[in-house]
Amino acid sequence: MGVFCRGQKAVSPLRSGPDTFRQSDGHVERSEGWFHSGSGHSRSGYSRSGTGGTGAAEAGIMSKRSKIEYFTAKKVGMAINRYNMISTGDRILVGVSGGKDSLTLLRILQRRRRRLPIDYTVRAIHVATDYEEQPEVERDRLREYCESLGCEYLFKEVAIAKKNKLGREDCFWCSWNRRKALFETAAETGYNKVALGHHKDDIAETILMNMIWSGELSGINPVQSLFGGKVVLIRPLVFLEEKEIRRYVMELGLPEIKSSCPRNYDSKRALIRDMLARLAKGNKDIKNNILRAPYRIKAEYLTEIVEEAPGGDDK
């Protein structure tokens, strides 16, 4: 069982629990936090402090910060292992927007490679478009963050708005062109995998969006082979909910950059996200139920009821 993606086979369901934690590679480490590269002092808002080296910490009791780091990294490790996302020798290009999801993804992937026997390369890429205005100072903050992790940073700017002459919906047009830039860069620089920060909420939202606006049952796969296997798209955050990522970023003080996209709050995805948030107040398991639904089909209660059959002929 798994999440359906148009043209892809189903894969294992996106679920996790305490009983599977033992299979992951989560690891407690002293955390250095994020600080201005080369400054020798903490940058405002970002902690350089560790988890504490005396008292309760030495007695084996994890601090709140350590627990958040541990369990967040553990879930990412579980997803990577379950779906065989990373192998020795992989060159991974991580799409980094500056938002909480991509900052979390980059940090965990980079720290993970330092302590595992698997040898792989991580490089960050930030794709900017003319749909949003991003101050130079924010790009500098993002570059400094990547460098503080020991990760090479690549910046690429693409013109999207002025090419949109056919009246395409902005969100789809923007997303399509960003992905195109990522895949082209991966091919040009010899990277065989592209990592994106989609999480469990994104998958649930996508399933509902496709049902409502496309009349189909499809979602997002954790691993997706593209261009005949030349590039593989991976999503290591699929076991994490958005609230878990937000907590991770806040606790570690990562330099999140808020999106300046003009369509950030009135897109179809924003409508679905708001609806799920309201429904979740009465049912905390709503996202998992959406992910399970495609594999609990009761065909005897499903009869096609449409005025016109798919394809245009109602015979």
Q: Give the pLDDT of residue 232.
A: 97
What totals of helices (H) and strands (E) does the chain contain, helices first? 8, 6
Average confidence score pLDDT of the chain: 79
pLDDT in tens, 143-189: 999 999 999 999 998 877 666 655 555 677 778 888 899 999 999 99
Q: DSSP for 225-238?
A: EEGGGTEEEE-TTT
* Residues 220, 5 contacting (CB under 8 angstroms): yes
pLDDT band at 314 (very low <50, low <70, confident <90, very high): very low
The residue that leads in pLDDT, 73 or 26, is 73
**What residues have CB less than 8 Å from 199, skipping those under 6 apart?**
101, 237, 238, 240, 241, 242, 245
CB atoms within 10 A of CB 276: 16
Question: What is the Cα–Cα distance from 36 to 161, expressed in whole angstroms?
Answer: 34
* Residues 100, 47 contacting (CB under 8 angstroms): no
Question: What is the Cα–Cα distance from 51 to 67, expressed in whole angstroms?
Answer: 10
Domain ranges of the chain: 83-301
Most confident of 53-57, 110-114, 301-305: 110-114
Place of tokens 């994106």: 196
Q: Give percent of the chain above pLDDT 70.
A: 72
- The closest of 198, 221, 203 to 104, measured between CA atoms, is 198
Q: Give the pLDDT of residue 166.
A: 57
Report helix, strand or coil for 123: strand
Instruction: Return the structure tokens found at 23.
Output: 């299979």
The residue that leads in pLDDT, 22 or 224, is 224
Mean pLDDT of 70-97: 96
Mean pLDDT of 252-264: 79
Question: What is the Cα–Cα distance from 236 to 259, expressed in whole angstroms?
Answer: 22
Q: Give the pLDDT of residue 135.
A: 77
Q: What does R_g of the chain's alpha carbons equal in angstroms?
A: 21
Q: Give the pLDDT of residue 117.
A: 87
The residue that leads in pLDDT, 197 or 4, is 197
The residue that leads in pLDDT, 92 or 294, is 92
Fold of 83-301: Rossmann fold (3.40.50)
Q: Give the pLDDT of residue 266.
A: 59
Question: What is the Cα–Cα distance from 143 to 135, expressed in whole angstroms?
Answer: 13
pLDDT in tens, 19-41: 332 333 443 333 334 433 333 33
Phi first, then psi: give them for residue 121, nearest 5 degrees.
-110, 140
Q: Give the pLDDT of residue 11.
A: 43
* Residues 126, 153 contacting (CB under 8 angstroms): yes
pLDDT band at 45 (very low <50, low <70, confident <90, very high): very low
Question: What is the Cα–Cα distance from 10 to 221, expressed in whole angstroms?
Answer: 8
Place of tokens 């991003």: 134
Question: What is the Cα–Cα distance from 12 to 3, expressed in whole angstroms?
Answer: 7
As a residue count, the chain comes to: 315
Q: Where are the alpha helices (DSSP H) in the chain?
A: 64-82, 100-115, 136-148, 170-189, 200-209, 242-252, 268-280, 286-292
Phi first, then psi: give them for residue 221, nearest 5 degrees.
-90, 145
Q: Give the pLDDT of residue 262.
A: 61
pLDDT in tens, 287-312: 999 999 988 999 899 888 877 655 55
